[in-house]
Structure 1
């Protein structure tokens, strides 16, 4: 079901364009259940190997678009294993804190400081090249700094908006930049 004949490896993932890598990755995930339920053992093995190859290549090219690739970024690559573990645990704790303070969740405390999350998100956008981040990176960043999805959506709907969508990218607007330049932002 991977688009190649049984036993063939297809084009190596490293040789695929970004567009083809995403297309093939999406296709392998979409066909996973069918291969599991109806394919042969060989088809399932091949499908699994191809899916993992595509996923690993995607993480290599786009480490910041998913939580799995965060530990592969240049700023932590040289750390010893214990320091990396500490860093990863801090990231998990930030995500747990963000979830616990999300007022939209049942039983949440709602004590998250909005004055910290949104400005940090805007600062990170401003630090990105041309104030642009891929949509997956933007959503991962929002999780990291504790901005829940509904609050993130409000940044696009504000009048004037602080962020805007341009295809697969999210861009800091002039108003978003002005918000950062205000004292106390």
Structure 2
């Protein structure tokens, strides 16, 4: 795979239409990259989004607050706001670079399915927010298809309640080595 396939064409080589489409797509997918992407995906997304924004600003300075008369009146206040923004970006990047050791799986030698069910069972009320459950599945190495099978098992081992993922009685029985029927 070439660098262009991985990184995309340089923003400076995009047509105006492509630049606008890719910029909009980058902003539309930002939430997904932040919540569900890997550290590598998030870093790539951030770099690409910033590249597209810089190129857009170069081509169309009057379409943004920077060139439309929205420039700051209080330069010191604006400089402090930018300092805080940069500090936040630096903290986020440092968190990506200095990732903690993955949490140990619950139960030595647990397979990913059991480790995932244990994570939910051990959470308060036997429930995790869907985003925490998604992260737990990734941490224990359980892919999406395997997670889906836990919902569709007969009887289901986990269930949904609004934004939460909840272990069922069958899931608890599965963990204790008992019958799930």
Larger radius of gyration: 2
Question: TM (normalized to structure 2)?
Answer: 0.44
Q: If the length of structure 1 is used for normalisation, what is the TM-score?
A: 0.43
